[in-house]
Every structure is written in structure tokens, then in C-alpha cells.
Amino acid sequence: MGDDLPPDAGPPPARRGPRAATVAVRAGRPHRPGAAVNPPIALSSTFELGGDRLYGRDDNETWEAFEAALGALEGGDALAFSSGMAAISAVLEALPIGATVVVAQDAYNGTRRWCADAASRGRLGVRLVDLGDPAGVVAACEGAQLVWLESPTNPCLVVADLAAIAAGAHLQGVSVVVDNTLATPLLQRPLALGADVVVHSVTKWLAGHSDVVMGAIVTADGERLEQLRTRRSLGGGVPGPVEAWLALRGLRSLPARLERAQATAGELARRLSGHAAVERVRYPGLGSDPGHELAARQMSGPGAMVSFEVAGGAEAAEAVCEAVRVLTPATSLGGVETLIERRGRYRFEEGTPPALLRMSVGQEDVEDLWEDLDQALTAAVAT
Ligand SMILES: *Cc1c(COP(=O)(O)O)cnc(C)c1O
């Protein structure tokens, strides 16, 4: 276990006041005698004229409770969207026609697809960069409007030096966006590291139960916030109030879920590193991982995603997914159930090693997960 990060590694919280686990539970609750402890699911599309609210595509009481909680955790103001991709679209659509965007070549599949599509229509110029080379990322920022970062990346778990890249980008007047979906604000706070905007797929760890599709943006810059709020109203990518309520309910237990999942992930990563059927494990908590030192500096824990490459190539990796009985072979991540999938099966994953399996560790008993992985790996490599 000497390879694992200590649980309290990373920078101290940037602000005073309650710690993250307390904020996750307390923020966004009305605090007055007789108030409901949870917000209502506000199911009204319209409001009588003359008050603060007008129409359900502009604001909603249930979204606002979720936004207050996420904003407090990230250190900014949040806006809820109908999906992570709706949030990502809103940020990129706010750029002028023909603007240049620097994008991590390891970024989430959907982000890269969005950018490739925009480039093919002349909407944006796109420069793909290697996050492992921060100086190269900063150099690519020349003349660009925005740099799109993700750390750790999905699915290869590459760790980017967010503070160094943000500082270099800002010297050139380039805005910095960080997709913080895999780390969550409990493990990493990009705004404190210099980012201008954070985006989330709330679908994943924040909502946490594989029952919601939702997204969010967070920024501490009031002008950007209003610009993005306008984009949300005009683009119409707004979440349903039921989804926002479920996401907030999920967020309340994120500290407990993540702590347990992370502990299990660390143990599974360590055991997988010693398994004869595994060629390489990618997990920033392992001392051998290229992102280990950086993660120890900028994150308060390595997270609960583990990616590993199976000996025997893509076929053997698919066989592992077919042989598991406790783990669920499915896409997505961040739920209470452990999910596994071979990312290389999808378009736009040509850069992902074909034998790589991405595992999102859930809440099951670590020994049941290990026995299942061990039997599936052993069977898959034997055939
Ligand atoms: C899933 C995901 C997204 C997209 O979010 P949706 O809620 O599926 O639209 C964006 N970024 C990352 C890192 C993701 O894992």
C-alpha cells in the first residue's frame, strides 16, 4: 500500500469555512424555521407575471438548490444543464465563429467529436495537444481563444498540470476550461488552480446512481456566468426538475461514496498490477504511474477510476467483459455499481489502446470484486 497517496495529500483548501464533506451535505438548503430540509421538485413551466420568475427555461427552484451546492464545492457559481454535452456545447458555442480552440487529444470522446464536427463545418479551428507536455500545450495556445483541459482524462487517466497550463494560457489571454468529471470537486478544484470555467457530466460521480443524465458549468467570473446563462436559455439544454433533485440527492452522499470507492480502487489497482493477465495498470494512486507526483500535488486523492490493459489484446479484453459476474459490463461511470468496458470498441477511440479496460469502481465489497476480476482475467487469457 506504500504506493498509494495518503488520504490527506494535496493542497489545503483554498478558502476558510466548512470542509468539502460538510459543504456537500449542507449547501443549498434553506436555513430558516419551518423550511423544508430538501427543495421541492418544482414542476411549473411558467409563473404569474410580476414576480422574480418568468419561464421554466430560464430558472427553476430545484436547479438552484443543486447549483448552490455544486458552486459552493467548486468555489464559484454553477449552472445546471440537461447533460454534460449540453454544458460542453454551451461553453464552446459561446466562442465567436472561426475561433481557435486547443483541445487535449486525450479528452472525452464526445468533446473531441464535438470539436471535430465544429471544425468540419468551419465553426472552430481545433488544435489537438498532448497533456503530458505542458510546455507544448502552452505553445499551442498562441492566437487561440480557449484551451480545453481534462484531468484525469477519460479513459486513459492522464494527469495534466492544470496550474502550469492555466498560467501559461492566461499570459496569452487564453481562457482555460477544465472538465472535472472524473476528479469531482472533492478531489480537485480547478478554479483554485487557475481555470476560468469548470464543466461536469453530473451523470457520473456527482449524481452517482446511474439514474440521471445531467451536466453543469461552474465559474467564479460574473460576466462569463451571465453569458453562459444566456447560452443555456437560448440553446435550451435545461435539465428537468426531477433530474436536478436526484442529482442533488446524489451529491449529498458523494463524500462517503467516493471515499469508499477510492479505497477499493487503490486496492484493486495494486492487485491488478501483480496479475499475470494484466500488462499495464493506469491509476494515479500507484507510485509507478506517470501522473502520480502531479496528482499528489494537485488532487486530494487519486479517485476511483482504474484503467488497465489485458494481455492478449482486444479479444481477451472483450472476453473479460463477458466473463464478469459481479461487475457490470456497461458504459458510463460514477455509479454505486462497478462498471467495466473496453473503450476501444467505439468510434473516436482510435488513440486508446485496444486492450484497455476502463473500470469505474463502485460500492461493492472489495473481495467480491477482486475474485470476479481474477476469475474473468484468468479465463479470458486461458482461452
Ligand atoms: C460522460 C462524460 C461527458 C459527457 O457527459 P454526458 O452527461 O454523458 O453528456 C463529458 N466529459 C466526461 C469526462 C465524461 O465522462
* CATH number of the domain enclosing 375: 3.90.1150.10
Q: Across all residues in the chain, what is the average pLDDT?
A: 95
Q: Is residue 195 part of a domain?
A: yes
Mean pLDDT on 157-178: 98
Tell me the β-bridge partners of 144: none
Per-residue confidence band for 9, with pLDDT thresholds at 50, 70 and 90: very low
Ligand 1 atom closest to 333 (CA)? 15
299 to 12, 218, 292, 380: CA distances (angstroms):
10, 18, 10, 35
Whether residue 84 has its Cβ less than 6 Å from ligand 1: yes
pLDDT exceeds 90 at position 50: yes
Together in a domain, 245 and 264: no
Q: Is residue 13 part of a domain?
A: no
Distance from the alpha carbon of residue 179 to the mean position of ligand 1, in angstroms: 9
Together in a domain, 49 and 146: yes
Between CA 9 and CA 249, with CA 207 as vertex, the angle to 5 degrees is 105
Among 252, 278, 299, identify where a domain stops.
Answer: 252
Mean pLDDT on 75-93: 98
pLDDT in tens, 305-363: 999 999 999 999 999 999 999 999 999 999 999 999 999 999 999 899 999 999 999 99
Q: Is residue 112 part of a domain?
A: yes
The one-letter amino acid code at 129 reads V
159: domain CATH number is 3.40.640.10
Between CA 209 and CA 215, with CA 214 as vertex, the angle to 5 degrees is 120
Predicted pLDDT of residue 15: 53
Tell me the β-bridge partners of 356: 309
Predicted pLDDT of residue 17: 85
Q: Is residue 202 part of a domain?
A: yes
pLDDT exceeds 90 at position 3: no
Mean pLDDT on 241-247: 98
Is 108 annotated in the active site? yes
Residue 294 structural domain: 254-382
Is 229 annotated in the active site? no
* Percentage of the chain lying above the pLDDT 90 cut: 93
Distance from the alpha carbon of residue 111 to the mean position of ligand 1, in angstroms: 8
Together in a domain, 222 and 323: no
Together in a domain, 238 and 276: no
Together in a domain, 61 and 72: yes
Predicted pLDDT of residue 13: 52
Whether residue 210 has its Cβ less than 6 Å from ligand 1: no
Q: Is residue 233 part of a domain?
A: yes
96 CB-contact burial (10 Å; exposed 0-12 / middle 13-18 / buried 19+): exposed
Tell me the β-bridge partners of 102: 127, 147
Structural domain total, the chain: 2
pLDDT exceeds 70 at position 225: yes
Strands (E), the chain: 77-81, 99-104, 124-129, 146-150, 175-179, 197-201, 215-219, 278-282, 305-310, 328-329, 339-342, 356-360
Q: Is residue 4 part of a domain?
A: no
Together in a domain, 263 and 200: no
Predicted pLDDT of residue 1: 35
Among 252, 278, 307, identify where a domain stops.
Answer: 252
Together in a domain, 267 and 122: no
Tell me the β-bridge partners of 179: 150, 199
Q: Is residue 121 part of a domain?
A: yes
pLDDT exceeds 50 at position 285: yes
What's the pTM?
Answer: 0.95
List 4, 77, 106, 179, catalytic entry? 179
pLDDT in tens, 119-136: 999 999 999 999 999 999
pLDDT exceeds 80 at position 7: no
DSSP 165-217: HHHHHHHTT-EEEEE-TTTHHHH--GGGGT-SEEEEETTTTTT-SS----EEE
84 to 15, 24, 220, 270: CA distances (angstroms):
27, 20, 19, 31
pLDDT exceeds 70 at position 74: yes
Distance from the alpha carbon of residue 108 to the mean position of ligand 1, in angstroms: 7
Distance of alpha carbon 379 from alpha carbon 375, whole angstroms: 6
Among 219, 252, 285, identify where a domain stops.
Answer: 252
Whether residue 203 has its Cβ less than 6 Å from ligand 1: yes
